[in-house]
A and B are shown apart, each in its own frame.
Chain A
């Protein structure tokens, strides 16, 4: 073993270097990179790919601006964070998430008022689709809907064929005993889209009918996934042939080449309105408004379509893939649309959680 008592400066330098690095890093790097003058901070509940391409598209159109998107949070987590930062807001935009969550944010005074005509131009305030009126903006301009997702049943046609099962067409079809062990769902206690689905079921089947439906459907559910993404991934792969979810993710799978089909059940598909709003006290209000305008512009709506969400403008076709998710296509395919009743949602929330706690922990009453 080489041992040395010789004097050398090498290891002193080495040690010193480590020390300096350590001190710097234990203390944290001096305030990150220099903040560019035009910097927009967005808290988004949208998936990573959505936000990444959005950032790229916006920055391409507005050089000199950097968009920092904090993605992958649920809308509720964003609300919590905005509350915590109320004294000195750090974010400019709250992006994506369900409409009822934006109403909650409004109630808590977290969103700033804007002039709808300035942001949304000549957009109407509501959209008619599938027999329902979908509100597109808040009267005080606190939130704007920029896209839609619709609840749907997704299935893997190859797997269904292999299992010799017919494709389901309605919600009630799912309760057919032939599908026992072949249906996947996630957890309304954890996922806002699952929760939205449940509220929509209340609206479709009534306060008693919904639990008669779900008690039967529960028999067919193979397991309740704690991971929302598995609802789509497992169907894409064919592990479980059928699941209840939101159309966008099924389109993603299909665009990847998976043999996935979806059905908008005739009893009604709930609409998941992708909403956005400016944060009250945003550091960069002008930039925030520009951002929102962009999203509602034709270019921004093409981006929405590229990301497999339904744009709210008509005549928008996606450029990144060949599937038709335009408004017109939806009008053709979807017979009935349910707008989630937020007051109802509040009233039935506790019961939904209670019942699903029983379902998901294996204890059915």
Chain B
């Protein structure tokens, strides 16, 4: 259980800067995710925190201790890799016991702890198996148990679920969160899957090209993305260019020259050119079109039936991109056939905007 403080960490590999100055503070027991696309520097940042890479610049503190130059084996951290990295020449039990044996704990204590943590991940029955005989999901649990058994002050996970199939991913991710809450370790989780990041974390840091674009709670990131990149990367939505005008309490945005709608004041920035992110929840099918209403008309270009929801892409003349409408398949059943002319009402909720530089 430690606070982690990262101050202006940067890392260059030859001429290429993978991380360009990241400053962050993570609280005790917090579950923090680093989210971003491939190549954004999130894994490198994690590896620097772990001590597996030396930063070109910057400092790291665990609590009051400056650990920038401390080798990884002395940082007392737990690591879980995407490839599990389970030791193939040892049984499940020995894998989990490894870190404890290094710490020279008495065998009885080791036994207690190993089985306790194996029970936490539901692997106690397979303690004597060799890694060649267990599935991917089970190996991931072993890796988790092994990392947690040593009671590290920090738990670091690098895309641990990427090698699992979709259903298993959801299961294991819930377990990870449950485990983390139970034990209360400060956790840093790296992923490119925003659903994972949003659903698991106390806070999320979105990275792009080596810098942190925004650090906030998941709902904040979603509703009030700080930059155009964050808006586009997190959640669904159509990003368009528009102009914002303020009229007292009313904030009005115009996109595509003639489509105007209101947005919530909390979202608004200063008047002028803005980027606008219209999320699916901002759109509803409209019947009549009252004049001046925030409505766009267009043709359904593409539909998707995804089980509980139906999605439709609507091509509106004058807009650079299609608007994506999403609704429950019960509500929308039959309402958005391909090629049909539809009217959608926009906002004011479900829209994010930010100044266009």
**Contact between chain A and chain B defined by CB under 8 Å:** no
